[in-house]
Structures are given as C-alpha cells and as structure tokens.
Structure 1
Amino acid sequence: MPRDLPSSLAAELSALLGPAGWRTDEAVRRAHGEDDSRQWAMPDAVALPQDAAQVAAMVRACRALRVPIVARGAGTGTAAGAVPFDGGVVVSFARMARIVSISPDDRVAVVEPGVINGDLQQALAPHGLFWPPDPSSFERCTVGGNLATNAGGPRAVKYGATRDSVLGLVAVTGAGEIVRCGGPWTKNSTGFDLTRLIVGSEGTLALIVEATLRLVPRPAQQATLRAFYRDAGAAADAVSRLMRQPQGPAMLEFIDARAINLLRRNGSDLPEAGAMLMIEADGDEDTLPLALTALGAAAEGDGLLSLDVALDGLARDRLWAARRALSPALRSIAPGKINEDVVVPVSRIPTLVAGVEALAQRARLPIVSFGHAGNGNLHVNILYHPDDADESARAQAALPQLFDLVLALGGTLSGEHGIGTAKRDYMTRAFDVPTLAAMRAVKAALDPDGILNPGKVLPAA
C-alpha cells in the first residue's frame, strides 16, 4: 500500500472501481507517472473508471481528504501536464474509450475521452467524415488529451484547433458534480460557453467524461506543394503572401534548414535548401486546380529555389509522415530538447524566424524550427547535451529570451501543447495581475479545494 494514501480512501475506491479499476502496484503506478516531457513523478494510485458516475464518486471521495487528482490520456503531452508531482491519484480513461454514436446527418460524434484520435478517424472514414484535430501523435493520443490541451496540428490553419471542433461536453468538476454543456448544435447562444472554457484547461477545472464533436466532410481531392527557399526569411515572407490569398491552404508547414538536413539524413528525397514550405490544398476536381494555381503563384517570390506538386497519394503520405517524424528525430542531433510551440500573428512570422536564428547564434546551440506557419505557430526546439553543464545553462537561459521575443511580437506562449508546468512560471509575463486573478477565480469556482491537477497552468498567487 503506498505510504501517503489514506487507507480509508484506498478501501473506498477499491470497492468502487474493483481490482481492474484500482491499481496500487508499483509497475502500473510508475507507468502512469510520466509523459513526453521526460519528467516523472510517482502517483500513489491509478484509477481506471468505467463511467461518469464512477468518476464523480471518485472525485468526491478524494475531495473529502484533499487528495490530488491528475487526469491522463495516453501521456503524449510535452508540457508535463499529466505528471503527478504532488502524488495522489492518476485517473486513466483507458477503460472509457467508447465511440458512443456517430450521426452522419448531423455531422456529430459522441465519444468517451479514452478514444484514440486515429481510431476515431478510421471509424469516421466510411461515413466520408473526419474530426479536424490531427496532432503528430494522432495514432497514440486520445481525444480526451486533445480536449485537455486544445490540440491542433497541420489542419488547424483551415479547420481550427480542437476547441473549434467540440460542440458539447459532460464533465465532472472538482466538487464531484456532473455538468453538461453544449450539445449537437452548431449554433447556441444559451448561457455561458462552458464547453470552450473547459477545453484547453488541462484537467484543472473538470474531468471530461464525454464529448460531442463537430465533424467535417472529407475533401474529394488533395495535393501538396513543396516550395524550397534560399533562406528562412524568404520562406517566412512567402507565408504572409500565402495567407493573404482568398483561397487559403488546408495546411501550411514551415521547415528550416536544420530540419531539412535531418529529413535528408533519414532518407527523404529533399534537395538542399535554406527552408521549405509544405502547402496543402484540398477541394474537388473543379476547385483544386484553381487553388493550386493561386497558392503556387503566392509561393513564388524572392528566394524561391524550386516548386513542385505531390498529387499522388503515396507521395503525399510519405511527405507528411516525414514531417510528423521530425520531432522525435531531433534527439539524434542532441539528446536534450526544449520544445516550445509559440505563436505570433502571421504577419510577424518573418520577424520571429529571424529572432530565433539570432537567438541560436547568441546561445551557440542548434535551434530547429518547424511547424504550423499558417497559424503563426512554430515549434522552436532548443537542442543541447544534458551532461554538459555549460550547454544546459545556455539552453535554459535561451528559453526566457524566446518567450520575451514572442510576447514582444504580440504572440502567446503555446498554440497546442498547453502550459502544464513547463511554461507555468512564464504566465506572469503573458498576463497582467487582474487577468490571472480572474483565471484563479474560475478555478476556485469549479475546483474549490484545488485537487484537480494542482500546480499546473496557473502560477502561485
């Protein structure tokens, strides 16, 4: 029995959840103590509820003894948002993984939080529909995790992030009460929009137990333009031109020279270049050629080296698979990685790219940038060797400089990874005192004893 967990609570939750739903063995606890941030802490127990009633009863029991609760999906987050630093109970939704219903006529699906994003997409394909959020971990990450962090992905430039594709929620507050907000409607002006509030709150306000998702018809045809540029500045300028087009791209990804070289080393058929844009268009046999022509014209300009089109499905799939593999491949450059997903207005992308290149020179470290340029959202990866004290110090010193640059450009700290603990202490730079006080008031209203994912998102008052 874990030393720090009250025996009365353990007995109550063991009876509630049964032996398969209440785990205190060390191996299971250890497996649920980390995420892709590479940070780790041991929880006192792991709960695997099967329905909303069990979740609510569990929260009430933990609240009575002020025991922390940390919700967890598949552990693919990078901001340490699912790491149980204060111990307590990790709630895994692995046994709440049902696709409750799919309504093609309403373009709506109702799902439980443990559904894998990729599994949902497969289930929707026969209906000619898809759910827009497509993070690079879509084959492993859960819908609940996508909801918790307001995940995005390449398609967000056209279809929006997770928050834009959720119509309603059923959730359990920190008081153990079940709340229902929204529903299978695309218009709703009734009461406060709790759905959009809870999405992106990283399990600090409520535990999502069911979601009503907005679905989109699959495009009939797709094609990807590859544009190679002399340098990152030329590619960044092209981003602004592309986003001014009436026919915007379905995806628009920026990849810098270091990332291109990494892809080349891993077997991708790419020429040497200072930067690359991957520009996806979708439509039908009438609209797709027009979109490609307009986007191709916008991609042209000073610094363009070459431009080609991948129409074949296999060629497109290989190209996007290589893009999705970029983040894990970075550790072949250096084992230490600080991965930030900063956002600036699209018009400031050229200034951000130039600022990051200058930061890499000052820090004397490789900094690899790529990501969703059409949203102004770049993944800036500061790479270093953790066993080198000087490199580690320079990497940590570069991080606040990056955030200062982003905020000075009118940007924000995170576009899709969330805040967790990784960026929590920088929230005071991003928000003024009254705004943070309003956030804390919301937290206190929905989680009066502060048991839901304590220490995450909001810095201490």
Structure 2
Amino acid sequence: MALPAPFLARLKEVFPAGALFTDPADCWVYGYDNSKRQVLPEAVVFPTRHEQAAALVRACHEYKIPLTARGRGTGTTGATVPLFGGVVASFERMDRVLEFSPDNRYIVVEPGITNQALQDYVKPHGFFWPPDPTSAAFCSVGGNLAYNSAGPRAVKYGTPRDNTLGLRAITGAGEEIRTGVYTTKGVVGYDLTRLLIGSEGTLALITEATLKLTPLPETRRTLRAVYRDVGAAAQAIAKIMAQPAVPCALEFIDGNAIDMVRRYSTAGLPEQAGALLMIEVDGFKQAMAPQIDSIRAAADNAGLLEFRVAETQEEVEALWQTRKALSPTLRKIAPKKINEDVVVPVTELPVLIAGLNELSARYGLPIVNFGHAGNGNIHVNLLYDPGKPGEDDKAHACLDEMFGLVLRLRGTLSGEHGVGIEKRDYVDRELDAASLKLMHAIKRQFDPEGILNWHKGFPMA
C-alpha cells in the first residue's frame, strides 16, 4: 500500500530527519524478526519520546494505517513482522532510565533499553531484574514485556508479569494511559498492566515501564544431575520443586540432545545417560550447604547416575558445556529447525518426551528437547531439510500432532516465545470460543480501527 501524502506529511512533522525512513532499502531490514519471515513496511520511524509515539498512533488511527511496534527483532514467532505493511515503530532509540528508586526497589525505563543494559545499571546498587531470556545481551525490555519473556530464573523469581509494577502506554485509539502502581500492593481497578504484558503490541504501545527489582543474592552454586531416563528426571524435578530450597534455575536436556552433543562435544557424561538436569541455587553463602543437601536428597532416586557440585568457576563451565553445545550442534544436524516452547505439568514430562520420540520415529525427523524443567517449559526442536521434497509439509504435520499432544496433557502452546503468526492458527484449539470472543472485544476496545499488529496472537473474527 502507498501511504497517503497527508499522512506522510504528518510523520515528517513529528519525526526529524534521520528518524523517518521511507526508502525501501532502509525499511527492508525492519520488516523481519528471528522467525525468518519478512514483509516490507512503507515507513519506519524511531520515536525518542512518549509524545512522539502518541502523535504517531493518533495519525495512524486517523488514517487507518497499520502500525507495528518493534524492539530488537529477536522474537521467533513473527510478532514484529508488519504483515500489512504500513509503519514500523522501532523503539531502539528510547533507551533511557527515567527514574531509579533503590529504597523502593523500582526503576522506570523506556522500552528500548536492552535487558543487559538494565542489569548492568542496577547491579552496582545490589539489584537485578529477574527476567533473563537467552537473548538478554541484545533483546529489549519492551520486547520482554510484549512476549512476557522470562528465561531460566522464572522458576524462582517469576516472569515479567510478576516483576512489573506499572506501565505508560498509548492505545490503538491514541489514548494515553498509565497502568499499575509504584508499590508492591495495589488492587484498584482491573489489572491492565498484566493484560498489556504478553499482548505482543496488539493493544497498546508501551513507552515506559516501572519494574520491580530484586536484591542480588550473595552467591550462587551450580549442580548437575544425570539420570537413566526421563521418568527418573521428572520424578526428581517434582521433588526438587516441592522442597524449600527453590532453585534459581532448573534446566532439562533429554536423551536425544545428550546423544547429539556427545557426537560433537567432549562433555563427559555417562554412556547410559537418558536425561540431564542443570540446577543452580542462590542466596547467602552460609545457606548453600543446606540448600545443596536438600536438593541432593530430592534429586536422589533409583535412576540417578551422577550428581555433581561445581566447586570452581572452571567446574561450572565444564558442567554447563553440554547445554552450551546444543545450539551450535543443532545447526550441524539440519538446515532448519522449528523451535517451539510448549509447557506441560511437570508430572507429564515423561509422557510428552515419549510422545515426541514416537512422532520423531513416525515422521523420520529428529526432535531434540531441552528447557526450563521447573516450569515444565520445554523447547522442542524439530529438525528438517526444507530442500527435500515434501519435508516442509511433513514437518508441519508433525508440529500439528505435537500441539495436539501438549493440549491433551493439559499443557499450553507457548510459555515465553509468544504466539505471533507462527502459533496464531492453533490458538483456538487451546482457548474456548467464549474466551476468544472476549479477547476480540478487548482488542476492539483498545484498538477500534485494528491498526496495531492486526492478525497476531489469536485468530481474528
């Protein structure tokens, strides 16, 4: 679509030279994310102030121009791909810290600040923000909020929804709103903060976030437990999560991943290893020994082959070698992978893994599984070669059956990657018709012209 001349004139009034792109060569790189999908937007703008973002939304609302908010493009579901062209608003230049209150344990930031920059800012003061996705060094806080992206520490400290006090945002109608509080308690009105977090830019553009900070632990220890099979590992996970020493990370790697890594890595693991848990605990130094003893006792069962505690930084690195070898190894196995982050109750992990192994054998496609075991959040990596005739159709048929398996186990289709485009057409299998109807109504209330990230997150009526 060609943008109307009066609309472009409005954009030029709001955004100075260098903050507005209309040349396709400049816009093209802002039309994709880590899903590898790409659509060319007609314009890209770079807000640096809340007022600019508000003026942009009002103009798009008036002229009915599609508007897609973007952080750093690290998402894997196509949520920042501008399906209908229009305007992409890149928030990478809104990266300031606006207020920091150590005594009240909160910080107010703009959405473009990276997760790592935020952590670096608060660390000297003895704090951290718990969400820690794998892409923390590059991803933005705005993106973390849009997807409710969490990472390993969620098992103890929760997700962005649990660590955000309030937001400043602009609805699709151009109305400016403030949600939430500056305190850790507050029940006035509906919880619009938690509604906006995870909404993938479909309801409003977030321009400020008041984040709840957590004191840094004095120390952290790393443990590794290796099991004969997934059933034994799942039994251990349930017991670990039911004792008082809650780990700050509890990561799972299945037998397929272990076998794959063994072919390409020197990581030392027992030959009969069928599952592995990486465990971290944090807190006071004097509390480490009883925490480790409590977790060791919970982790011990008939299937346990090895339990190791790292005593030095070199040993920590050695224990994590298997996990760190996964991503580069996956790239050697197949030209393409479908990476889904499904969640099931912890007790259903053995059934899930067994079902995935059956699908792998039936479709002739490798499936490698690892993830955040304490939450039952498993990253399922379906590997295939799209260059082979029929392989792409086969992979997506397998994916369809995988989602069916997850839902039968009372799971959910996404834990932290979001829905975007990739899972949108499966959502009505998880959500009932009445719930979807309410969501459509909420979308219309926030965004009456349907300009914000239309056709993302769930099927639109």
Report the TM-score when normalising by structure 2.
Answer: 0.96
Q: Is 1:298 the equivalent of 2:298? A: yes
Match of 2:415 in 1: 415
- Contact 1:35/1:82, CA 8 A, preserved across alignment: yes
| Distance in 2, Cα, partners of 1:371 & 1:417 | 12
SS in 1 for 2:104: coil
Aligned partner of 1:406: which letter?
A: V
Aligned partner of 1:276: which letter?
A: L
| Distance in 1, Cα, partners of 2:40 & 2:317 | 39
- CA shift, 1:140, in A, is 0.7
| Distance in 1, Cα, partners of 2:146 & 2:320 | 25
Q: Which moved more, 1:74-83 or 1:390-399?
A: 390-399
Match of 1:439 in 2: 439
Match of 1:113 in 2: 111
- Contact 1:149/1:199, CA 8 A, preserved across alignment: yes
| Distance in 2, Cα, partners of 1:213 & 1:322 | 33
Instruction: List 4+ stretches of structure 1 deviating above 6 A.
Output: none
SS in 2 for 1:340: strand
Match of 1:138 in 2: 136
Q: 1:162 to 1:265 in 2, by over 3 A?
A: farther
Match of 2:287 in 1: 287
- CA shift, 1:419, in A, is 0.5
What is the correspondence of 1:26-45 to structure 2 with a 5 Å cutoff?
Answer: 26-45=24-43
Q: Which moved more, 1:338-347 or 1:258-267?
A: 258-267
Task: Return the match for 2:18 from 17, 20, 29.
Answer: 20
Match of 1:55 in 2: 53
Q: 1:389 to 1:19 in 2, by over 3 A?
A: same
Aligned partner of 1:293: which letter?
A: D
SS in 2 for 1:135: coil
Once the two structures are superposed, what CA deviation does each residue of 1:379-417 show, in whole Å capped at 9, x if it has no partner?
011110010123222211011111111111111110000
Q: Is 1:357 the equivalent of 2:357? A: yes
| Distance in 2, Cα, partners of 1:296 & 1:322 | 20
For structure 1, the residue ranges without an aligned partner over 5 or more in a row are none
Match of 1:152 in 2: 150
For structure 2, the residue ranges without an aligned partner over 5 or more in a row are none
Match of 2:368 in 1: 368
Q: 1:325 to 1:126 in 2, by over 3 A?
A: farther
Aligned partner of 2:442: which letter?
A: V
- Contact 1:260/1:270, CA 8 A, preserved across alignment: no
What is the correspondence of 1:37-436 to structure 2 with a 5 Å cutoff?
Answer: 37-264=35-262, 267=265, 269-271=267-269, 272=271, 273-316=273-316, 319-320=319-320, 323=323, 326-327=326-327, 329-436=329-436
| Distance in 2, Cα, partners of 1:186 & 1:356 | 41
Report the TM-score when normalising by structure 1.
Answer: 0.96
| Distance in 1, Cα, partners of 2:157 & 2:81 | 30
| Distance in 2, Cα, partners of 1:227 & 1:414 | 27
Q: 1:221 to 1:70 in 2, by over 3 A?
A: same
SS in 1 for 2:411: coil
- CA shift, 1:167, in A, is 0.3
Aligned partner of 1:334: which letter?
A: A
Aligned partner of 1:308: which letter?
A: R
Aligned partner of 1:167: which letter?
A: L
- CA shift, 1:245, in A, is 1.5
- CA shift, 1:350, in A, is 2.1
- Contact 2:267/2:322, CA 8 A, preserved across alignment: no
- CA shift, 1:321, in A, is 7.7
- CA shift, 1:460, in A, is 2.6
- CA shift, 1:27, in A, is 2.9
Q: Which moved more, 1:237-246 or 1:439-448?
A: 237-246
- Contact 1:233/1:353, CA 8 A, preserved across alignment: no
- Contact 2:226/2:276, CA 8 A, preserved across alignment: yes
- CA shift, 1:48, in A, is 0.3
- Contact 1:355/1:405, CA 8 A, preserved across alignment: yes
| Distance in 2, Cα, partners of 1:15 & 1:66 | 18
Q: Which moved more, 1:284-293 or 1:150-159?
A: 284-293
- Contact 1:225/1:296, CA 8 A, preserved across alignment: no
Q: Which moved more, 1:249-258 or 1:370-379?
A: 249-258
Q: 1:204 to 1:324 in 2, by over 3 A?
A: farther
| Distance in 2, Cα, partners of 1:259 & 1:145 | 29
- Contact 2:234/2:346, CA 8 A, preserved across alignment: no
Alignment identity in percent?
Answer: 53
SS in 2 for 1:389: coil
